[in-house]
Amino acid sequence: MIQKQQLSLLNRADEACDLLRSHIDQQHVVRIISHNDADGLTSAGIFANAIQKAGGKFHITILPRLRDSNVKDLTKSRYKLFIFSDMGSGNLESISKLSGDVIIADHHQFPDEVDPEMQVDYKKIVHVNPHIFNIDGTKEVSGSGLSYLSVHDYEYYELAGLALTGACGDMQLKNGPTGINKLILDEAVEHETMTVKDELKLAYSNTQPLNKAITYTYTPVLEGLSGFMDKSNEFLEKHNIPKDKLLHQLTPEEYETLKNELTSINENIYGKTYTIRNIRRELTNVEEYSSLLNACGKNKEYTAAISIELGKYNQMEFAQSLLTKYSSNMQNGIEWIKREGSVQEENIQYIYTEDKEHKQVAAAVSSIGIELGILPDKPILSLMKMDNLIKVSSRTTDNMVEKGVNLGVIMNQASKNFNGIGGGHNIAAGATIPADQKDNFIHLVDEMVDYQLNN
């Protein structure tokens, strides 16, 4: 059933689609600007696919963050339609100065002082953001979902897979899709472009042999196996399951044994998986697909990501190699955490690195470390040195959020204190600060967490 607020959001997205259609009809090249993570890459991919299918042309730029200066650079260009996806809601003021029409498909919170319905006389701005309609943009819809809604009128239901892949990349499917994500999935199942089935939820199971797939599985954690290649090998050997096979290559008996043994370690390892139909096997599982795109994004290989989304597979092997490299980086990162642990403050903990490969995975590894029980359940900062700046990524658990921790608020306020910038969600947030303020920043964050826990 569609709720009233959801209907308002869908109507807004339909306005975006009408605007897009009118520009495609006039043969205008559409300028797409999107984010460099899996959600942003699928957002761009959805618009690109839709425009291509509708006979139009586009030009994509992928950015790690949208700065007002990026928007300003675009004011010189003569495009008639700009699309900002998975970003843009925080830059409405500068976006309103662009000469062409604008579609913003973003699920991030916009600043309080901004009017999300801002309009300018000489052009159209269609702002598709769930927060305008009091819909939770953290859990119920991602940038890719909003992009999908913004091309929905074209009825390209095969693009729903990208929408769910982006939502997965933004961790919105952890407890199954809800809200708009659920609407998109249900409709895709109805149109037979996606299926939901119960499966072993092993990481990279369509591309990595079982011993690696088991070792690399952290959601959920398989205690004693996740992160331990030697233990995973032993486990498979003991149960007579060939470690070099892919999951789908197992005989029914082997699969049954594996399922029984793994569910006895963690029953959540068997459950709902979301599958895209009529696509290469490597891309069928939304989680695996989002990891692949994420690996492309982390390596700034945006062309590889977008071309794969468009169904051109000449860079597929290359992208796969990036994912393999990324997952072994993750593995090394876990080893690093196991070896060195984190530095303990009273209410928080932190890890610090200057190593290029550790930087890529520090944030992910920090939360896995807590889940594996290697690190204590305290909010964790990953500090990554970049020249004279430090990039901070902070993560915590549902448990700590329930106790009052809100990292988004802390990263925002603490970074401002040292002339940095920051913000995000209660459970995961980030900041950038001057490198020489590292210790002061850690100390302040520690105090702020203390305050949130005790007030």
Extended beta strands in 233-378, E state: 270-276, 343-344, 349-353
Q: How far is the CB of 259 from Mn ion (least distance, A)?
A: 33
Nearer to Mn ion, 39 or 288 (CB): 39
CA distance 228 to 202: 14
Q: Which is nearer to Mn ion, 88 or 100 (CB)?
A: 88
Question: C-beta of 276: minimal distance to Mn ion in Å?
Answer: 19
Q: Quick one: tokens of 338?
A: 């196991």
Q: State yes or no: residue 100 binds Mn ion (CB under 5 A).
A: no
Q: Assess 106 for contact with Mn ion (CB under 5 A).
A: no
Select the residue interacting with Mn ion from 23, 24, 38, 39 (CB under 5 A).
39
Among 45, 100, 130, 143, contact with Mn ion (rule: CB under 5 A): 143
Question: What is the C-alpha separation between 114 and 423, in angstroms, rounded?
Answer: 17
3 state SS for 149-169? HHCHHHCCHHHHHHHHHHHHH
Q: How far apart are CA 223 and CA 214, in angstroms?
A: 11
d(CA 246, CA 170): 26
Q: Could you tell me which stretch among 78-86, 119-127, 224-232, 241-249 binds Mn ion (CB under 5 A)? A: 78-86
Beta carbon nearer to Mn ion, 87 or 390 = 87
Segment lying near Mn ion (by CB under 5 A), choices 25-33, 82-90, 254-262, 276-284: 82-90
* β 29-35/81-85 pair status: parallel
CB of 222 to Mn ion, least distance (A): 28
Radius of gyration from C-alpha coordinates of the chain: 22
Distances in Å between the Cα of 206 and the Cα atoms of 190, 203, 209, 284 are: 25, 9, 8, 8
Total number of residues that touch Mn ion (CB under 5 A): 5
Q: Which of residues 34 and 273 has its CB atom nearest to Mn ion in the complex?
A: 34
**Closest distance between Mn ion and the C-beta of residue 107, in Å?**
6
Distance of closest approach, residue 258 Cβ to Mn ion, in angstroms: 34
HEC-encoded secondary structure of 96-111: CCCCCEEEEECCCCCC
| Residue whose Cβ sits closest to Mn ion | 39
Closest CB to Mn ion among residues 39, 254: 39
The residue ranges that bind Mn ion (CB under 5 A) are 39, 86, 142-143, 170
